[in-house]
Amino acid sequence: MTYCLGIMTQEGLVMASDSRTNAGFDDLNIASKMHNFSQPGERAFVVLNSGSLSLSQSVINLVKARFGAGEGLARVNSMYEAARELGECVRHVAELDRAALERDNYTFNLHLLLGGQVRGEQPALYMIYPQGNAICATEESPFLQLGEYKYGRPLLDRGVVFNSTSLMVAAKYALLSFDATMRSNSAIGPPIELLLYRKNSLILDCYRKFNHGDAELQAIHSRWEQSLRRAVEDLPDLRFADAPLEESAQSLLI
């Protein structure tokens, strides 16, 4: 499994990914799912991947080769064009591999998240589908997820607001979302990579990798659990009809 998350705020972007890959429960490996492409001062892109490792590697290799040759992401004029460029790379790999996979009943399974900014344009966050088309995050829906998204979503739904959530607070939400997901699904695993992109900086210099047993992550995990438990206990007691729990007398329900 995979969990990748991008959050868009007024101050910039948070991009985060786990690093567990698996081909069945008995074949676990570690591979980074975060890839960075930048020309400081001009353009900065972060790409996260989920789905088939083989397909992801092929697409990233292609994106990298084109970027290195001064094509593709090195030349796009907007985030929309950047998302289109990634979609083209996905379609190119589909031409190479899709038929062979489907012949053996494998799905062409590959999703990407793209976050970043081109100078003179606004930062943006996109999800690219296996078909090569894309959607972007909006102020009303300011985060996008890949893979095992459900466990880590309620917290984001409650807390992340485009206009008012600071970049640092969004990073905490991202980390807590990963913490919740890893707790419930053991196929999501460290290292967790976390990158903050501050709007108009046009540079990727704010990065952190949380390895297994990272002391800061464990401290946050413990403190968070304590806070949650206290918050639940501090809620007012629920009222149950006119028969308080202690004074149960007769059946109201048959």
User: Counting beta carbons within 10 angstroms of the beta carbon of residue 175, is it exposed (0 to 12), middle (13 to 18) or buried (19 or more)?
Assistant: buried
Q: Which is nearer to its own copies, 98 or 221 (CB)?
A: 221
- Give the shortest CB-102-to-its own copies separation in angstroms: 22
- For the chain, what is the largest distance between any 2 Cα atoms, rounded to a whole number of angstroms? 80
Least spacing, CB of residue 116 vs its own copies, in Å:
12
CB of 199 to its own copies, least distance (A): 12
Least distance from C-beta 101 to its own copies, angstroms?
A: 25
User: Considering beta carbons, is residue 59 or 167 the nearer one to its own copies?
Assistant: 167
Instruction: Select 114 or 196, whichever has its Cβ closest to its own copies.
Output: 196
Query: Which of 103, 158 has the CB closer to its own copies?
Result: 158
> 146 vs 167, which CB is nearer to its own copies?
167
Which residue, 42 or 139, is less far from its own copies as judged by CB?
42
CB of 243 to its own copies, least distance (A): 5
SS3 letters for the chain?
CCEEEEEEECCEEEEEECCEEECCCCCEEECCCEEEEEECCCEEEEEEEEECHHHHHHHHHHHHHHHHCCCHHHCCCCHHHHHHHHHHHHHHHHHHHHHHHHHCCCCCCEEEEEEEEECCCCCEEEEECCCCCEEECCCCCCEEEEECCCCCHHHHHHHCCCCCCCHHHHHHHHHHHHHHHHHHCCCCCCCEEEEEEECCCCCCCCEEEECCCCHHHHHHHHHHHHHHHHHHHHCCCCCCCCCCHHHCCCCCCC
Residue 124 contacts residue 141 (beta carbons within 8 Å): no
Q: Where on the chain is the footprint of its own copies (CB under 8 A)?
A: 36-38, 40, 150-155, 157-159, 167-169, 171-173, 175-176, 180-181, 183-184, 194-196, 198, 201, 203-208, 216, 219-220, 223-225, 227-229, 231-241, 243, 245, 248-254
Whole-number minimum distance, CB 99 to its own copies, in Å?
28
Between 100 and 238, name the residue whose CB sits nearer to its own copies: 238
Residue whose pair of structure tokens reads 């397909």 in the numeric block: 55
**Minimum separation from the CB atom of position 17 to its own copies (A):** 13
Q: State yes or no: cis peptide before 191, omega within 30 of 0.
A: yes
